[in-house]
Structure 1
Amino acid sequence: MKLKVVLSFAIGPVGAAFLGFVTLPLMTWLYSPEDIGRFGMLNVAISFSVLIYCLGLDQAYVRQYHESEDKAKLLKISVIPGLLLILLTAAVFFIKPGYLSSLLFGVDSAEIGFLSIFIIIISFSLRFLSLVLRMEGRGGYFSLSQLIPKLVVIGCFLFFYFFWEKHDFPQLLWANLFGFLSTLLVILLITKKDWIAAISSKIDYQKLKDMFFFGFPLIWGGIAFWGVTAMDRVFLRSLSTFEQLAIFSVAISFANAASIIQNIFSTLWAPMVYKISNDDEESIKLVNKASQYILLVVVTVFCIAGLFSWLVDFFIPTTYADVKFILLACLGYPLLYTLSETTVVGIGISKKTSYSMLASVLALGINLVLNYVMVPKFGAAGAAVSTCLTFWFFLVFRTEFSILSWKKMPRLDLYFFTFLCVFGSMVEALWGRNYSMYLKYYWVVVLMLFFFKKRDLLVNLMKRKAL
């Protein structure tokens, strides 16, 4: 894949991550902590619903796209089962929409229930339409599909700020509904030929059966990973308060700045490594080199964030003063996951994908136990610590399974320095108020120790920049 095409696909996720980084702190000045917490639950509900109702057929669509001669039929087969199921579920909730609202947000409201249902249905539709753009290589339009909802939501917030005195949770839902609906209308126009052809095509039931058998087992791995990334908010919703959920959600939004690194790397990494996957010697060299450079980024970001996390106080109300303490632990997901992407490639190259699912399942088990123990006592801090520590274990699992299925790679430094970062983040989240100054010294020492240990890597990097 050409670099220009790769970058056209990267613009959207990176831009969306940046806009998300900006949006939630803005929301904290307009809406109550309880509403911000409910907004976090909305995102959890959307991601879970799309994962479940796609039935794994979205992944089957991607897998069989280039092999299929009738892509319109393939699209129809992929969409219809999940669409029928989600509409059937929606019909049930339409009978008593307040139940869904109460279940997710602790508020019995028909308006909130209806809005949530429509948002979830549109999100499901956008999943497949964005896949059409992605598989056709239309990177610019794909990126547009990622940016439109964020921009529309920001526009709605500005409108509410200037023309409404009262700001409540239904406004958040309306803003998101307009964002997703605007995106759907634009993408429907862009992909008009594809979905019109799909509607008029016939269903191949044998093909559907084959795709279902391919995609359905993948749901379990997806659910496991979703659990690792979302259980913190589920436990905060059930075992803590919406105020704690709000603090956690705002910290996550700041930490999502690191997901820009994740999105750029993920977009560029897969084409690079699989291009030379048939050459074991070159592959292992590339993996070792990439893991060292990403480790450099991960440790540096952790340490700098540890030294300057107090700056977030200037951007959010005093109600969210605890955000600066849990921010570091919230960085664990995007940073450690990105690092694990460099070491896990052996599983993909060897095609032993069961190890990938096993890593997710083991991490989910750890995450469930940690959240169950930590959230009732520590609230948002406990959730952040649980997820951060879980992703350190996830990194270890993916790395070790990759080595088991492929080639040995050096990883002592990788485990040691990432654990120092995770340990410091845990202390900061749980006892940052008491040891704030000592922790600043800690991050300086960790950074200096890491730079000394990796001095050869830094020298080589400086030489390359000089050239």
Structure 2
Amino acid sequence: MTPKKIAAFAIGPIGGAVLGLISLPVITWFFSQEDVGRMAMLQVTLGFSTLLFSLGLDQSYVREFHEAKSKPALLKRAMMPGLVLLVLAVLLLLCLGGALAEWLFGVREWHLSTLVALALVASYISRFLSLVLRMNERGVAYSMSQLLPKLLLLLIIGTYIAFSAEKNLTNLVVANTAAIAFVCVIFGWNTRTEWLTGIRTKLDVEQLISMLRFGLPLILGGLAFWGLTAIDKVFLRSLASFEELGIYSVSVSFAAAATILQSVFSTVWAPTVYKWASAGQGLENVHRVTRYILALVVLGFTLAGLFSWIITLFLPKNYASVQWIVVSCIGYPLLYTLSETTVVGIGISRRTSFSMLAAVLAFAINLAGNWWLIPIFGAAGAAVSTCVSFWVFFFLRTEFSAFLWMPMPRLLLYSFTLISVFGAVVFTLWGEALNSLMMTYWLVVLGCWGFAFRAEIAELIRFFVGVIGNRVV
């Protein structure tokens, strides 16, 4: 993938993160802390339903894309089974009245259940249609489909404020559901050729069974990964309060700045690696890419630790603890991105059961960590548990990949990530009391980072100087 295409894919995550950082403080000032927490439960449910009902066929679609004779037929095989199951499940839940809203928000309202149901279906469809844009390397369309819904959400919230609308849960759910439905419409328009052609194709049951053999083992792993990323919110909902959940969800939202790296890299990396594998070349670049991503991960932890205090300038006083919690929250996107570079051996060898095992073991650790830490530390405990669990997840994926494919240098990987996670944990739990000491710690880590990655830094400087020089000429 060329730098121009990478830049096209980067527009959406970067622009979406910027719009999110603009809209988030507005939401915290306009809506109650409890309702902000309730929105976290909506996001948890959307992630769970997409992972469960996709049946692992979204991963099969990515794996088989370059080898499929008919791309629209492949899309139909991947998308249709889960969509049918999801629609049936949604209709059954709506027959229960407001039960779905009560489970999520603690409020039994049928109209809220209907809005959630609409969001579930739209989110599922968007998942598969986004893969069409990704795999066809249509970066601008993919980015616009991510960027426009964030802009719509911001416009709706702005309209609420301008017209003094009620600061209630219904309006917040309407805004979020409208944004999710809008992205589905945009994805549908941008991929209309593929899915309209796919509808007319005949469903190849034999090929579907083959895809399910690859994808079904990923269901348990996918659910475990969902638990790894979402069980903290479920535990906060049951062991703490919606207020603590609100603080945590705001911390996670600010940590979404780190998901720029995750989104851009994951979007580009999976298609690139599988293209290398199908062509039998380019795989020697994996270790080089890993070093660059490790450098970005460590830099991300360090900068977050040094400058998280800036967040307090934009939030109400009751969100002051976000500045400490956010540093552990960035562990998920950063460590997950790093693991994407070290896990390629599992995908290439098609031993997906090892990915499942890594997710299950890390999920078990996160369960125990949340059960232990949330009653003591609240939202901070949830952030620490998830951060540590993702380091375990990264470690297991790396070791399994080395075992199944080829060894890789791992001393630098483990030492720098452990130093970063240790600092994040201490900063989150006791940063307020150890403020000056923690600033010194992060500065030392930054100095070690500069020495260890001096070659990569010098290479990047030469690259940018060359680009600027060529433009001047």
Structure 2 matches for 1:117-136, cutoff 5 A?
Answer: 117-136=117-136
Structure 1 residue 73: Cα displacement: 4.0
In structure 2, distance between residues paired with 1:402 and 1:294: 17
Partner residue, 2:170? 170
Structure 2 matches for 1:6-45, cutoff 5 A?
Answer: 6-45=6-45
Structure 2 matches for 1:7-406, cutoff 5 A?
Answer: 7-270=7-270, 283-284=283-284, 286-406=285-405
C-alpha change, 1:100 and 1:447, in structure 2 (3 Å) is same
Letter in 2 for 1:96: L
Q: Gapped runs of 5+ residues in structure 1?
A: none
In structure 2, distance between residues paired with 1:12 and 1:339: 21
Letter in 1 for 2:291: Q
In structure 2, distance between residues paired with 1:243 and 1:151: 26
In structure 2, distance between residues paired with 1:442 and 1:257: 22
- Residues 62 and 271 of structure 2 are in contact (CA less than 8 Å); yes or no, is this contact kept in structure 1? no
For residues 373-393 of structure 1, what are the alpha-carbon distances to aligned partners after superposition, in whole Å with 9 as ceiling and x for unaligned? 111221100000001111111
Letter in 1 for 2:248: F
In structure 1, distance between residues paired with 2:13 and 2:156: 21
In structure 1, distance between residues paired with 2:135 and 2:254: 31
Structure 1 residue 77: Cα displacement: 3.5
- Residues 153 and 179 of structure 1 are in contact (CA less than 8 Å); yes or no, is this contact kept in structure 2? yes
Q: Gapped runs of 5+ residues in structure 2?
A: 467-473
- Which range moved further: 40-49 or 71-80? 71-80
Structure 1 residue 86: Cα displacement: 1.6
In structure 2, distance between residues paired with 1:321 and 1:457: 36
Structure 1 residue 75: Cα displacement: 3.4
C-alpha change, 1:432 and 1:127, in structure 2 (3 Å) is same
- Residues 77 and 204 of structure 1 are in contact (CA less than 8 Å); yes or no, is this contact kept in structure 2? yes
C-alpha change, 1:464 and 1:134, in structure 2 (3 Å) is closer
- Residues 14 and 263 of structure 1 are in contact (CA less than 8 Å); yes or no, is this contact kept in structure 2? no
In structure 2, distance between residues paired with 1:154 and 1:48: 25
Letter in 2 for 1:239: L
Structure 1 residue 13: Cα displacement: 3.2
TM-score, normalisation: structure 1: 0.91
Structure 1 residue 313: Cα displacement: 0.5
Structure 1 residue 436: Cα displacement: 1.6
C-alpha change, 1:313 and 1:195, in structure 2 (3 Å) is same
Structure 1 residue 443: Cα displacement: 1.4
Structure 1 residue 462: Cα displacement: 4.9
For residues 339-380 of structure 1, what are the alpha-carbon distances to aligned partners after superposition, in whole Å with 9 as ceiling and x for unaligned? 222322333344443332222222111111111111122110
In structure 1, distance between residues paired with 2:21 and 2:463: 32
For residues 244-267 of structure 1, what are the alpha-carbon distances to aligned partners after superposition, in whole Å with 9 as ceiling and x for unaligned? 111111111111111112223334
- Residues 217 and 353 of structure 2 are in contact (CA less than 8 Å); yes or no, is this contact kept in structure 1? no
- Residues 98 and 108 of structure 1 are in contact (CA less than 8 Å); yes or no, is this contact kept in structure 2? yes
RMSD over aligned CA atoms reads: 2.6
Structure 2 matches for 1:444-463, cutoff 5 A?
Answer: 444-455=443-454, 458=457, 462=461
Partner residue, 2:436? 437
- Residues 218 and 352 of structure 2 are in contact (CA less than 8 Å); yes or no, is this contact kept in structure 1? no
In structure 2, distance between residues paired with 1:72 and 1:451: 48
In structure 2, distance between residues paired with 1:190 and 1:459: 40
Q: Secondary structure at the match of 1:84?
A: helix
TM-score, normalisation: structure 2: 0.90
Letter in 2 for 1:374: L
Structure 1 residue 167: Cα displacement: 1.0
Partner residue, 2:471? none
C-alpha change, 1:63 and 1:394, in structure 2 (3 Å) is closer
- Which range moved further: 136-145 or 420-429? 136-145
In structure 2, distance between residues paired with 1:296 and 1:66: 31
Partner residue, 1:411? 410
In structure 1, distance between residues paired with 2:11 and 2:159: 26
Aligned sequence identity (%)? 47
Structure 1 residue 51: Cα displacement: 1.2
For residues 143-199 of structure 1, what are the alpha-carbon distances to aligned partners after superposition, in whole Å with 9 as ceiling and x for unaligned? 222222211111111111111342111111111222223333333334344444444
- Residues 59 and 215 of structure 2 are in contact (CA less than 8 Å); yes or no, is this contact kept in structure 1? yes
For residues 71-91 of structure 1, what are the alpha-carbon distances to aligned partners after superposition, in whole Å with 9 as ceiling and x for unaligned? 444433333322222222122
- Residues 10 and 267 of structure 1 are in contact (CA less than 8 Å); yes or no, is this contact kept in structure 2? no
Structure 1 residue 464: Cα displacement: 5.6
- Which range moved further: 40-49 or 200-209? 200-209
C-alpha change, 1:97 and 1:353, in structure 2 (3 Å) is same
Q: Secondary structure at the match of 1:326?
A: helix
- Which range moved further: 392-401 or 179-188? 179-188
- Which range moved further: 404-413 or 166-175? 404-413
Structure 1 residue 281: Cα displacement: 11
C-alpha change, 1:186 and 1:423, in structure 2 (3 Å) is closer
Partner residue, 2:470? none
Letter in 2 for 1:108: R
For residues 52-82 of structure 1, what are the alpha-carbon distances to aligned partners after superposition, in whole Å with 9 as ceiling and x for unaligned? 1122233333344444445444433333322
- Residues 9 and 264 of structure 2 are in contact (CA less than 8 Å); yes or no, is this contact kept in structure 1? no
In structure 1, distance between residues paired with 2:279 and 2:208: 36
Letter in 1 for 2:117: I
For residues 176-229 of structure 1, what are the alpha-carbon distances to aligned partners after superposition, in whole Å with 9 as ceiling and x for unaligned? 222223333333334344444444444443443333333222212211212111
Letter in 2 for 1:149: P
Q: Secondary structure at the match of 1:29?
A: helix
Letter in 2 for 1:48: F
In structure 2, distance between residues paired with 1:192 and 1:275: 25
In structure 1, distance between residues paired with 2:141 and 2:227: 30
- Residues 277 and 283 of structure 1 are in contact (CA less than 8 Å); yes or no, is this contact kept in structure 2? yes
